[in-house]
Structure 1
Amino acid sequence: MVAAQVVTKPRPSGAILADSRDLLAPALRAAVDTLPTSMRHIAGYHFGWWDEHGRAVAADPGKALRPALVMLSAAAVGGTADDALRGAVAVELVHNFSLLHDDVMDGDATRRHRPTAWSVFGTSAAILAGDALLALAMDTVAGSGHPAATRATGMLGAAVQRLLEGQSADLDFERRTDVSVEACLAMAAAKTGALLGSACAIGALLGGGRPAQVLRLAQFGEDLGLAFQFVDDLLGIWGDPATTGKPVHSDLRSRKKSLPVVAALTSGTAAGLELATFYTGAGAGAADALPEAQVERAAVLVEAAGARIWGQAQADELLSRALDALVAAGADPRAETELAVLARFATRRDR
């Protein structure tokens, strides 16, 4: 008699991410504790560990998607989460360095349902705290003692350079009226895809993966990162403030040239032409918020130009490509399943 095959139901994304945060948290706190007192204070506030006075709180810790990708990518090639833990800490530090700086550059006053670090401690202090996290990230992976630490540090450094290039392009778009969809895609691939691709590659490298596996998992992360940015841009217009922690239509209010906005502006439709008058008309300087009377209308115009449907379709296509790369990596079945669960979550999330 043949024994019945046991089919294990995949764990939900929330459980996967919670386990990742549980593994990450002690190591992340230990790393941040090595910072100078002033930098540690701001970093801990940003991470949601305490309030501006240093009193312990239980604020939203964030998704911790990137460190989860690092540790699961290590497991996918036959390693363990412990093999890649310091790489996961480093990637999370880099991500939060970018958030601290992004909030300053974008003028965002709220993140994760609480005031941003710059709005509490000042712009200069927040920038310095971000710089401290970046330096700490490099020290964390370089000093891990792992045989592949030097290569992993190089990967992370290259991802940071691409991230900065993407952020620079994003800022440049604020002053331009000729931004194409292709340029916007390249910006997003650098700004978001680079770090997710690096997260997966570093995890695979520290987990002992073969070169082909490292390459495939890097491609998985790159495509997932761009899909993630599409969803992020859609949430920046239509996300529910109760879940995103940011005001409704926040990207439109700041005249941000996000992927759906650029698609609408270049659509050649009547809606796109009207939207252009809001973005490039009189008084449309990069530092000037879109008048409230126009914000709601702008959201209607982006959707009428077909950009909302287009954005979700692009995210779906990129998810499909990412999953193909994951399968091609020949990963451990359980880790592959959980990486796929996280990929679907990242493109179907509400925050």
Structure 2
Amino acid sequence: MTALTSPVRESARTVLDRCRELAQPRLRESVRGLHPWVAEMAAYSFGWCEVGGAPAAAPGGKGVRQALAVLGAEAAGADGTAGVPAAVAVELVHAFSLLHDDIMDGDATRRRRPAVWRAYGTGPAVLAGDALFALAVETLAVAPEGPGAVRLLSRALADLVRGQADDLLFATRPWTGPERVTPGEYRAMAEGKTGALLGCAVALGATLGGAPRDTAGALDRAGRHLGIAFQLVDDVLGIWGDPAVTGKPVGGDLRERKKTFPVLAALDSPAARHLPALLGSAEHAEEAAALIEAAGGRTSALAEARTHTAVARELLTAAPLAAGPAEELTGLLDLLVSRAL
């Protein structure tokens, strides 16, 4: 995985913008159909309004899942509009998962603003998340290929919940010894927590675009590998990223004692034997980050991300896809996993 040239980055961002513009009107229309209070919380979570409903231009997400769904339809030979119901559904599910994730992790901010549960309360935030989930299912149920699409989403959600459960349970396990979290367990967690929905997005778009089941399955697997790589890069940024870019405090994952891949990889080195004693301390976060890097944790995480990126690229190359959208999918993949390079 090499650093991307500026034209390649700009091309990928153009794809994100194009797909977002295609899906956003339908997404906003769907959210407006909710109960007004719930719709306001949902709009706040997307960055469309402030608390109370005043319009806002707060930073939203990149629209990655929307783009994957639209490109999935186009890769199947259909017009991008065929993938819009999938784009809306996965974006709603993603927002639902973030609302609940912030509550479970106790994260007070999201994209440099108070998280929904801090802005409106925990109960209301749970309710808003539930409403987004229900709306996602309804969106797919009335789409062409609805029953099959809902089954795809249901399987992805089951994997997402499994990954989230593992991530929460990891916090209760020791750093060392036979009960420690292994890199293999981490990969399975990341595939469920992050990869399942990315794979579902592109497979749903392809399904609504008329792709055969085998093609949709290959795209699902590619998205899952992308998700693992994406999570690995997030782990690196969670320790060494620029807060102005990530919106997260430096060393936040270390202070929260999260069992991220760089930490797990570093613990395999005798040089990191003192690392567990440093984790969880704001005072020692910088020292812990330096020790993890010296023990090879950062290098191992990025190497692992490269491996999964290569597998995703091979799956895209082997699948019978329309050439232009396939190239855009590959460019998007490279953009998303190059953030830490």
The TM-score normalised by the length of structure 1 is 0.91
Aligned to 1:256: 258
Q: Deviations over 1:200-230 (max 9, x none)?
A: 1111111111222112111111111111111
Q: Distance in 2 between matches of 1:343 and 1:315?
A: 11
CA contact (8 A) 2:199 2:220 kept: yes
Aligned to 1:232: 234
CA contact (8 A) 2:229 2:306 kept: yes
**Superposed, which structure 2 residues align to 1:1-351 within 5 Å?**
12-144=11-143, 146=144, 148-177=145-174, 178-265=180-267, 267-271=268-272, 273-279=273-279, 290-349=280-339
Give the drift of 1:303. Answer: 1.0
The letter of the residue matching 2:210 is: G
Give the drift of 1:50. Answer: 0.5
**Deviation larger for 24-33 or 10-19:** 10-19
Q: Distance in 1 between matches of 2:126 and 2:258?
A: 21
CA contact (8 A) 1:243 1:350 kept: no
Give the drift of 1:350. Answer: 5.6
Q: Percent identity?
A: 45
Give the drift of 1:100. Answer: 0.8
The letter of the residue matching 1:348 is: S
Secondary structure of the structure 1 residue equivalent to 2:284: helix
Aligned to 1:283: none
Pick closer, same or farther for the CA change 1:309–1:268 going to 2, 3 Å.
Answer: closer
Q: Distance in 2 between matches of 1:308 and 1:183?
A: 18
Q: Deviations over 1:97-143 (max 9, x none)?
A: 11111111112122212121111112222122111111111011112
Secondary structure of the structure 2 residue equivalent to 1:12: helix
Q: Distance in 1 between matches of 2:45 and 2:91?
A: 12
Q: Distance in 1 between matches of 2:340 and 2:293?
A: 18
Q: Deviations over 1:31-61 (max 9, x none)?
A: 1111112211111111000011211011112
Q: Distance in 1 between matches of 2:283 and 2:278?
A: 11
The letter of the residue matching 2:217 is: L
Q: Distance in 1 between matches of 2:241 and 2:122?
A: 26
Count of equivalent residues: 329
Give the drift of 1:196. Answer: 0.9
Q: Which runs of 5+ in 2 are unaligned?
A: 1-6, 175-179
The letter of the residue matching 2:252 is: S
The letter of the residue matching 1:275 is: L
CA contact (8 A) 2:236 2:340 kept: no
Runs of 4+ in 1 over 4 A off after TM superposition: none
Q: Distance in 1 between matches of 2:119 and 2:230?
A: 29
Secondary structure of the structure 1 residue equivalent to 2:54: coil
Give the drift of 1:278. Answer: 3.3
Give the drift of 1:18. Answer: 0.7
Q: Distance in 2 between matches of 1:198 and 1:333?
A: 21
CA contact (8 A) 1:240 1:350 kept: no
Q: Distance in 1 between matches of 2:257 and 2:66?
A: 31
Q: Distance in 2 between matches of 1:304 and 1:349?
A: 21
Q: Which runs of 5+ in 1 are unaligned?
A: 1-8, 280-289
Give the drift of 1:157. Answer: 0.9
**Deviation larger for 215-224 or 336-345:** 215-224
Q: Distance in 2 between matches of 1:350 and 1:55?
A: 35
Secondary structure of the structure 2 residue equivalent to 1:179: coil
Q: Distance in 2 between matches of 1:349 and 1:150?
A: 37
Secondary structure of the structure 2 residue equivalent to 1:293: coil
Q: Distance in 1 between matches of 2:258 and 2:250?
A: 14
Q: Distance in 1 between matches of 2:340 and 2:278?
A: 27
